[in-house]
Chains A and B, each alone.
Chain A
């Protein structure tokens, strides 16, 4: 079974608007971390934001925020005021205590920002 599900293979957003990228996860571990990465066409993986399973507040980093709903096992990434440079693949990942602390990645969402 997929541990990380990203149901949106592709998304379009108008420049300067906000966009939400969905991520749901599956774990029975109590201690885990959720990460979002951006991958531009160059292939590099850029870390964006982190949310811990015990964190009570949603994480924020500049224009990125994470809508964490623990009971629903979702960790959606919100990008505010989209820019053309935000066009890229976005991956949700999970790190579990019981899985050797390895990082498991979802299939990704390709975001295209329109001028």
Chain B
């Protein structure tokens, strides 16, 4: 079945550590996105990529980094520079050339700083 896989589902991080969240898609989508969701809030865009080896900062990119070495993969690293990383992280993908197509989402990763 086609879809987006995020792993792990739950992640615990000690302060000062970097952690990497995985996102893989087999939908052959060009665009991929990372969103952060805080409790009771909407989704905020961290980074997005519309083509391999290229990505752009979203609204809240500080303290995060990404790579897009393969079309299928868009990992997100939460660095120690991110002061408040505890949140729910959602990865999504979409077709670029067609505006009337929705974003498909993974199941999310819940990150907690301990």
User: Which residues on A are within 8 Å of B, measured CB to CB?
Assistant: 4, 31-33, 35, 42-45, 47, 50, 52, 91, 93, 95, 97, 100-108, 110
Contact = CB atoms under 8 A, between A and B. Distances in A.
Interface residues of B, number: 27
Contact of B100 (A45, A50, A104, A105): A50
Contacts of A52: 99-100
Contact of B99 (A44, A47, A97, A110): A97
B42 A45 contact: no
Contacts of B107: 42-44
A108 B42 contact: yes
The 4 A-B pairs at the shortest CB distance, nearest first, are namely A45-B105, A105-B43, A107-B42, A47-B102
Nearest to B50: A100
Nearest to A36: B102
Contacts, number: 61
B41 A31 contact: no
Chain B, interface SS category: strand
Contacts of B103: 35, 45, 47, 93, 103
A105 B94 CA distance: 15
